Amino acid sequence: MTRIVVLPTARAAGDALARFVARALTTSPNLVLGLPTGRTPLLFYDAIARLHEQGRADFRRATTFNLDEFAGLAATDPRSFHAFMKQHLFDRVNLSPVRRHVLNGSARSWQKEIVSFERKLADAGGLDFAILGIGANGHLAFNEPGRSLVARTHRARLSDTTRRANAWAFDGRWRDVPRYALTLGMGSILGARGVLLLATGEHKAGIVARAFAGPITTRVPASLLQAHPNVVIVLDRDAAAKLPVRLRR
Ligand code: PGA
């Protein structure tokens, strides 16, 4: 079942998602979370870091797997998702370094890296919650639209749309954004016991409507979530604007 929750502002949407995750951590301290990067989750990470400071979000026994990483970038590269996570979450909460997993974009063998990541994810029992954003082209993690999708962790070629959308982390120069990334596959995302997707801003309204009110198609990877039994979509009013009224609450 897909539940769509619409909040008045992006900040309220980030807060609502953070409260949901904090509550889930209280009920199940051993939670295994899939974590996104990008501009959208910044408000979520700020909110959950604040809840942590207030003693209301405890990551001590949690395990995390980041959804993706740019190929070729080392963890220490300030443009890497690894560096993003360190800045926005890892340095702000009590998540154990041994239980947080980010694909190594600069691994000598990406083939070995994806096998090892997939094994760690399986050993952890898969994801309890995949926390996701949605690309303007409908991608989830770096599972880009196409004629087919890949189930497991893999190396993906990034579309120019996606490279442009990530230019903000590369001084606005989209051609500097790597052409490839390592990413969790659609099977691992759809295998999560729960999915929490956050989308904000009017630039996401069109794709949100296509993904959740249109047909299920690999051309819009996020539309596959319609077939998942436990999905919560958290939107601000702007991102919800093009959804049919019956789907907005
Ligand atoms: P964004 O990225 O939050 O920067 O829009 C979302 C995504 O690509 O999943």
Say which residue the tokens 């994806």 belong to: 114
Average pLDDT, the chain: 97
Nearest ligand 1 atom, CA 41: 3
- Compute, in degrees rounded to 10, the torsion defined by CA atoms 194, 11, 177, 89: -70
Query: Given ligand 1 and candidates 39, 160, 186, which is best to mutate, with the most ligand atoms within 8 Å of its CB?
Result: 39
**Atom of ligand 1 at shortest range from CA of 141:** 9
Spacing, Cα 144 to ligand 1 middle (Å): 12
pLDDT digits (tens, 9 = 90+) for 197-213: 999 999 999 999 999 99
What is the reported pLDDT for 227? Answer: 97
Beta bridge partners of 140: 143
Give the confidence band of 1 by pLDDT, cuts at 50, 70, 90. confident
Q: What is the pLDDT of residue 247?
A: 85
Q: Give the position, in ligand 1's atom list, of the atom nearest the Cα of 36.
A: 9
Q: What pLDDT digit, counting tens, does each position of 17-58 carry?
A: 999 999 999 999 999 999 999 999 999 999 999 999 999 999
Q: Which tens digits make up the pLDDT trace of 157-194?
A: 999 999 999 999 999 999 999 999 999 999 999 999 99
Interval 59-78 mean pLDDT: 98
Please, which pLDDT band fits residue 245 given cuts at 50, 70 and 90?
confident
- The predicted model scores a pTM of 0.97
Ligand 1: which residue has its CA nearest to atom 7? Answer: 135
Among 107, 89, 105, 109, residue whose Cα is nearest residue 97: 89
Please give the pLDDT value at position 249: 63
Residues lining ligand 1, CB < 6 A? 38-40, 133-135
Residue 248 has a pLDDT of 77
Q: How far apart are the CA of 57 and the centre of ligand 1, in A?
A: 24
Residue with structure tokens 């993003």? 84
Pick the CATH number of 2-235 from 1.10.1040.10, 1.10.287.110, 3.40.50.1360, 3.40.190.10: 3.40.50.1360
Per the CB < 8 A criterion, the answer to whether 9 and 41 are in contact is no
Residues 139, 169, 155, 195: what is their CA dihedral angle, to the nearest 10 degrees? -40
Active site residues: 68, 137, 139, 144
Provide the H-helix boundaries in the chain: 10-27, 41-53, 81-85, 110-123, 160-165, 186-190, 205-213, 237-240
Yes or no: say if 145 and 139 are a contact pair by the CB < 8 Å rule.
yes
Q: Return the domain boundaries, the chain.
A: 2-235
What six digits make up the tokens of 178?
């790597």
Residue 168 CA, closest ligand 1 atom number:
4
Query: Ligand 1: which residue has its CA nearest to atom 2?
Result: 38
What is the average per-residue pLDDT within 127-134?
98
Look at the block and give the residue holding tokens 């579309």: 159
- Nearest-CA residue for ligand 1 atom 8 is 135
